[in-house]
Amino acid sequence: MKMLGEIKMMKERGNMFSNATRLVAVENGVEKRLAVDKKNIWEQEMSDPNVQKLIPNLADVSANLSHKDFLHQLSADMNDVFAEKKIQQEIALDYQAMKIQSNTGGSFPIHTDSDGIVDTRLISAILYLNPDWKKNDGGQLRLYPFPYKQVDVEPVFNRLVIFPSTGLLHRVLPSNAKNRFCCTFWFSGNLRHPTADSPTSRIFSAKLRNIAARLVYAQEWEEAIRESHADSEARDQMIANHWKDISTIGRGLSDYVPYIGQYLPVDRNSAEGQEIKINWF
């Protein structure tokens, strides 16, 4: 409750800033970088010492999660979970970053938190702080663990969701609540990759799974872009870029289409016992 009080105070005092989607548009052969604000999403990073002074309880949480003993223990615990689930990947975490968020009626487009190239984030975690959340408030986190079907997670008080930063597409459905609060944590580090050795294991590598999922969810992808940003030329550009990408992906994945068709989002329960080796990172 102390954490929630501090986030509310930051929002009321105007100490949070609008979140933006970044994109590259090409006009007459010249690349332009654009930032398009998301509607009604307000955030603040915890790395600034001046911010930490304003919200000491949240700053303590961030400091504790950044301690090397905690990161070492979390890596070991996650690797135990992977081993139990026969996931042939291991992580070693060495850095934590935290953000607080207030959502006053916004949503997020479909994305992964990291592409695994420009940063080393491996694990994302979100702590929800909404004691009065009701079903018709919306704002669920929708996860796309392709080839399994999508899963919706309700943002109820004290719920912590943990998922891979690179290998899991997700979005936030439109929120109708007056406000929806959460803290996001990102844990960075190193990863040991298994080798892909067959067309099916290749299609279930983190990158190809997400690309194949984009083909399958192309229409929902466009809707999520529309819902998350105000009507603007930049948003039109984002949607045009999306469909250009879909056409490229369709051509590029033509060899894999039979495998995608075979495994189109499947129900996790009915898939138990099936030999699908998924790389989550």
Quick note: the x/- pattern for Fe ion over 61-100, rule CB under 5 A, is ----------------------------------------
Does residue 113 touch Fe ion according to CB under 5 A?
yes
Q: Rounded to whole angstroms, what are the CA distances from 119 to 59, 148, 188?
A: 23, 27, 8
Does residue 6 touch Fe ion according to CB under 5 A?
no
d(CA 269, CA 187): 30
Residue nearest to Fe ion (CB): 113
d(CA 209, CA 88): 16
Cβ proximity to Fe ion: between 43 and 113 the closer is 113
Q: How many residues does the chain have?
A: 281
Q: Are 146 and 216 in contact (CB under 8 A)?
A: yes
What is the closest distance, in whole angstroms, from the C-beta atom of residue 53 to Fe ion in the complex? 27
Instruction: Give the tokens for residue 63.
Output: 């400091």
Among the candidate windows 8-16, 33-41, 112-120, 238-246, which touches Fe ion by CB under 5 A? Answer: 112-120
Quick note: the x/- pattern for Fe ion over 181-220, rule CB under 5 A, is ----------------------------------------
Number of residues forming the site for Fe ion (CB under 5 A)? 1
Q: Which amino acid, one-letter code, is at 158?
A: N
Does residue 43 touch Fe ion according to CB under 5 A?
no
Q: Taking each helix axis from N to C terminus, what angle separates 233-252 and 218-228, rounded to the nearest 10 degrees?
A: 160
What is the closest distance, in whole angstroms, from the C-beta atom of residue 170 to Fe ion in the complex? 6
Cβ proximity to Fe ion: between 19 and 66 the closer is 19
Angle made by CA atoms 95, 98, 99, in degrees to the nearest 5: 155
The DSSP code for 140 is P
Question: Where do contacts with Fe ion occur on this chain (CB under 5 A)?
Answer: 113
